[in-house]
Chains A and B, each alone.
Chain A
Amino acid sequence: MKRLLALAVLVLFAAQPAYAEPVKINLHSCCVTEDATTKEILPAFKKYYKAKFGKDVDISASFAGSGTLKNQILGGAPVQVAVLSSELYLDQLKEKGLISSDWRKNPNRGAVIKSVIVFVTRKGNPKGLATFEDLARPGTKVLHASPDTSGGAQWAIFAIYGAGANFKNLSFGPEDGGVKLLAAVEKNVIAQPESARQTFVQFDAGFGDAIVTYENEALLEKAKGRDYAISVPRKTIETEWKVARIDRNIRPEQEHAVSELIKFLYTADAQRSYAKFGFRPVDRKVEKEFHAKYAQVAEPFTVDDLGGWKSARKNVIENTWKKIQTR
């Protein structure tokens, strides 16, 4: 028995490979990208990297709300690449010295996938909810995640505000149409769980008439066989996820794989994988292939129409949404 044990130990040590170990990198990606990333993109990248450069690369990925991921990275998680739903989080990482490069130099200023904010209603949309104004009707019960913990919820609140706002005149005062609409909808919000995923848990349990969330989440729920209906408002916001390298955590031997991974996310193959899981690709050609899958938004707007991320977070969430909550 002892001899056997010794042998086992010997084998274990001898099993250390003689050739170079594969490069290991860690990816932190916003929770809604989990299926697309683990099922398609990472396996495809490993194959691509091996075929093109003859080397193995080992990527482990972890998924959570973007705010949580950002905090983990700030706390020292050894992550080399991050895909997050809010540019503010990338700014924070930059301020703390974790990112030294400029992610805006990547294609589309760092945006690697897009979506729009829609709402999901019960089967057949029995209450006929079509616009954000409809969500403000008395007796309508609305769910969205908490903007304190969820990037998606920040987008949802921007979408509601923007649907009522006049972009040429954003005053954020009580006469601002966006503020009025947001206040009216928020009155109907019955719960604000931690993440976009948790809102679906509550919706599945029967709570609420509508969830304000990403189109890709809505499509994913449909793909899972849920009979919910999707309403695409006439005027809503385009959301985007941005990729960045966490420079301080990148060792020289990881450099190549990291930059190749980021480039890979923009390839037609990766964009197609994202599209399969309901995201809107940033690649124009791939977008055409999947065009029929997405609803056309009559009046799309972006966070830039709200004055950019910093201003929108401060004026719409901190100064407007917060006040509505405690009123």
Chain B
Amino acid sequence: MDSLVRGATFAAALGLFFLLILLPLVSLNRYAVSEGIGVFRDRLKNPDAIAALRLTALVALATTAVNAVIGTTMAFLLTRYRFPGRKMLNALVDIPLAIPTVVTGFALLLMYGPLGPVGRFLGERNIQLMFSFPGLLLGHVFVTFPFMVRAVGAVLESVPRSGEEAARTLGAKEWQVFAFVTIPAVKEGIVAGAFLTFSRSLGEFGASIMVSGNLVGRTQTGPLYIFSRFNTGDVEGAAAIAILLAFASFLILLLLQFVQSPATRRAA
């Protein structure tokens, strides 16, 4: 009886996963090659598509690098120290997940635009962050911020402080403890956070369309390219790039499964 229930649950979960998640991806695949694999390859060779994919990869890399530093620091702060407002800060970290990304984009426009104090300050010095690479980076760092903090934080919680304390007793300075003891111990958390951040950044749309300027061949990322191709009626072109991005994300997430140790997997 028990095994029957287990089997049925298993089949139901698998069936639903197939129907809700996999089937839409499969149909995308079918559309991408519906005109033949030659058309698919042609679409990928389009210079605008290549520029968009290149920009997407660069932004994702830069975003991951930035969040690896500030996300890890934040995670360290939240797990290793007790200070007033810590719970509040801890809750605020996840805010980017809850805010519609278009709102994020608009908020950045207001802050860095000529009407915001920061934007005015920069404008007087002829620095224009929006509608360029830095603008995209700011948007993506915001949207993906929680991933690194949470991945590293989960590992930090499970790493005993005894190593750090031992280093201190042996005369290590605070920065040495952080750099040579803590960081190596949470290496896996950083890797996991990096993979999640990178793949989320690959698919970012809402904030990007507001802050990038959506300039073809210059500031248009992959997802924005897909959207504009779809709207001009070039569904094959849209599907070709979409498949590539989906496949890249899949590879990254699959790789993550292999690099994660049992400890981080438990924590995540």
Instruction: Please give, as numbers and ranges, the residues of chain B lying within 8 Å of A70 by CB-CB distance.
Output: 233
Interface code A143-154, partner B: CB below 8 Å = 1, 0 otherwise? 000101100000
Is B217 in contact with A325, judged by CB distance below 8 angstroms? yes
Is A205 in contact with B214, judged by CB distance below 8 angstroms? no
Residue from B48, B51, B214, B230 in contact with A192 in the complex, judged by beta carbons closer than 8 Å: B214
Interface centre among A65, A71, A148, A193 (most CB of B within 10 A): A148
Interface code A65-94, partner B: CB below 8 Å = 1, 0 otherwise? 101101100000000000000000000100
| B38 to A: closest C-beta gap in Å | 21
Task: Count chain B residues whose beta carbon lies closer than 8 angstroms to a beta carbon of A.
Answer: 29
Cα A193 to Cα B208 with chains together (Å): 10
Cα A325 to Cα B47 with chains together (Å): 11
With A67-B232, A149-B231 as contacts: A326 and B119 at CB distance below 8 Å: no
Cα A70 to Cα B233 with chains together (Å): 9
With A205-B110, A326-B48, A326-B51 as contacts: A191 and B215 at CB distance below 8 Å: yes
A194 within 8 A of B: yes
Is A65 in contact with B231, judged by CB distance below 8 angstroms? yes
* A window 40-72: CB within 8 A of B: 65, 67-68, 70-71
Is A191 in contact with B231, judged by CB distance below 8 angstroms? no
With A67-B231, A148-B232, A205-B113 as contacts: A193 and B215 at CB distance below 8 Å: no
Give the bracket for the number of chain A residues in contact with chain B. 20 to 34
Residue from A71, A191, A198 in contact with B230 in the complex, judged by beta carbons closer than 8 Å: A71
Residue from B47, B114, B212 in contact with A206 in the complex, judged by beta carbons closer than 8 Å: B114
Instruction: Please give, as numbers and ranges, the residues of chain A lying within 8 Å of B51 by CB-CB distance.
Output: 326
A202 within 8 A of B: yes
B128 to A, closest residue via Cβ: A190
Is B217 in contact with A192, judged by CB distance below 8 angstroms? no
Is B231 in contact with A68, judged by CB distance below 8 angstroms? yes
Interface centre among B115, B212, B216 (most CB of A within 10 A): B216
B138 within 8 A of A: no
Interface code B178-217, partner A: CB below 8 Å = 1, 0 otherwise? 0000000000000000000000000000000110111111
**Which secondary structure characterizes the binding site on chain A?**
mixed
Cα A219 to Cα B88 with chains together (Å): 46
With A206-B114, A326-B48 as contacts: A190 and B213 at CB distance below 8 Å: yes
Instruction: Please give, as numbers and ranges, the residues of chain A lying within 8 Å of B233 by CB-CB distance.
Output: 67, 70-71, 92
A74 to B, closest residue via Cβ: B233
B229 within 8 A of A: yes
Residues of chain B whose beta carbon lies under 8 Å from any beta carbon of chain A: 47-48, 51, 106, 109-110, 113-116, 119, 130-131, 209-210, 212-218, 227-233
* Across the A-B interface, the 7 shortest Cβ-Cβ residue pairs: A326-B217, A191-B213, A148-B228, A206-B114, A206-B115, A206-B113, A67-B231
